[in-house]
Each structure stands twice: as C-alpha cells, then as structure tokens.
Amino acid sequence: MHDFTFPGDTPAAWTYHRSTARWLFNASSGGDSPPVVPGREEGRLPWMPLPPPSVCRIGLSEALRARVSCRRFRTDPVPLGVLSTLLAAGYGIGDGEEAMQDRPVPSGGGLYPLELSLLVRSVDGIPAGVHHYVPAAHGLELVRAVDLPRAFLTYLFMGQPWVAEAALICVISFVGERSLTKYGDRGYRYALLEAGHLMQNLNLAASALGLGAVNMGGFYDDELATLAGIDIEHEIPLYCSALGIPDADPSDRMAMRALERGVRPS
C-alpha cells in the first residue's frame, strides 16, 4: 500500500505550504498596511448601475438545506434584481459603510484583495459578454461585449459541459498587491480563505434567490484571465461559479446534480 506524503507525492504543494508556514523567527504579524489600492475599475468603460439589492426572506437553515451543486440549467435569463442581490451578498459594501469599505466576508487586514468578473450569457438588461463588478458604486463595467459560445466555455472550463448552459459565470480573482505587500507569501493563503468565504456567500444567496450554482476550480488560467481582461502578472483567477435558473426542482437533490440537461434520474 502506497504511503502518501506531501513532499514525496505533491512536491509543489508541499513547497508552497512550507514556504508560507510561520515559525518563531518569521512570525511577525505582517508589515505596515499598504496604502489603499483602488479596485480594477476603469472609468472609461461603459457603466451600468445595478438596482438596490433586495432582502432575502428565507432563513439561514433553509438556505443551507437548499444549497446543492446544480448541473442542469434552463435557458431563462436571470433577472437583473436577482443578480444585484447576489453580488451585494457576495462582496458588496453595506449601507453606510462607504468610508470603511466593509464587506460581508472577513478579509486579512481588511484589505479586500478580491475582484468579481461576470461572464454573462443571459441576464435581463445586460449585454452578453464580460463585466466587472464595482462594489463601491454597486454597478457593472462592460469589459468586453461578446457572445460566449457553448463550445468555447466548455473548453475553457476543461470539458465541464454544464458550464455552457448557465446564464452567467462568476469569476473570483486575486489582486496580489493589496495583501502580499503586507503579509508576503502568507497573504496568498489569506486570499484563498477569503475566496472561500465569498463563494459560500454567493452559494447561500443563490439558494435563497432560487438560483442554481455549481462551483469550479478547474479552468485554463491564462485563457480565462485574457477573456476577463485580467493582467495575470498582477491579478489571478482563483475560483468560479456557474449560475442560472435550475432546470430541476431544487428540493430534488439528485435531479439538481444530474450531469447533463437530458439526464433524468430513474
């Protein structure tokens, strides 16, 4: 029986882990907080304000029970108000929090180094293409108006066919300058943790809003960054979620998990 070890079987993962480990001689709390780094927003791009987010009316326990990976989506567009509420729940800035820039997720040093990009196929009132979410103004910048063919999306996400059926794909990316200048390599760990917090918010909000969602870590990094208008030497994609109207009863967990639209559990 093979005795798995981190250094022997996954040396790259082991090198990363040990390089970001803390010991007594390197266990400072981090450097001074860097100056506030603005988001990736580009003021010259076409701008669309989002409507005010609504309040999700179901409780946490119900949202947790309803959360299940969805791999069957209908062709119906996602309503704009639903998208607004989803983004605000994921990484928005609360009412009255403009000065502090606090978000609904914990962030190392309060630096909020993540960005959200949307690959939109079918959302009411929004052209197909690539959009960037600007939390401080709760709106979207149009990075690139382009149709996103199903075959291309399936390729981009390494053969996962359900991605191409979703109304939109949310891409979480990490701007290294915002936290690595304070925490060094350890800041990359903090970014991964923060991306997990953000994605869980998106998942629970999606289940509360009647959306289906399936999270994905498998994609071609450079191609996705290029599509999203990201300079990969400064910002890197970490985590994605395909979202849309589920083509199944959300209470039927096996139907929601079906791998293709035509598959029906017996």
Tens digits of residue pLDDT in 47-90: 999 999 998 888 889 888 889 899 999 999 999 999 999 999 99
Domain for residue 99, yes or no? yes
CATH number for 137:
3.40.109.10
Per residue, the 3-state secondary structure of 184-215, as one string, reads CCHHHHHHHHHHHHHHHHHHHHHHHCCCEEEE
Per-residue pLDDT, 252: 77
Paired with 242 in beta bridges are 169, 214
Please check whether residue 230 lies inside any domain of the structure: yes
Domain membership of residue 56 (yes or no) is: no
Distance CA 189, CA 108 (A): 10
Would you say residue 8 lies in a domain? no
- For the CA atoms of 190, 134, 64, 239, the dihedral, rounded to the nearest 10 degrees, stands at -50
Q: Is residue 125 part of a domain?
A: yes
Number of domains in the chain: 1
Q: Please indicate, yes or no, if residue 114 is contained in any of the structural domains.
A: yes
Q: Does residue 171 lie within any of the structural domains?
A: yes
* AA identity, residue 149: P
Instruction: List the domain range (segments joined by +) for residue 95.
Output: 66-257
Q: Which pTM does this prediction carry?
A: 0.90
pLDDT at 266 over 50: no
Provide the residue type at 248 as one letter: A
pLDDT tens digit string along 199-220?
Answer: 999 999 999 999 999 999 999 9
pLDDT at 261: 47
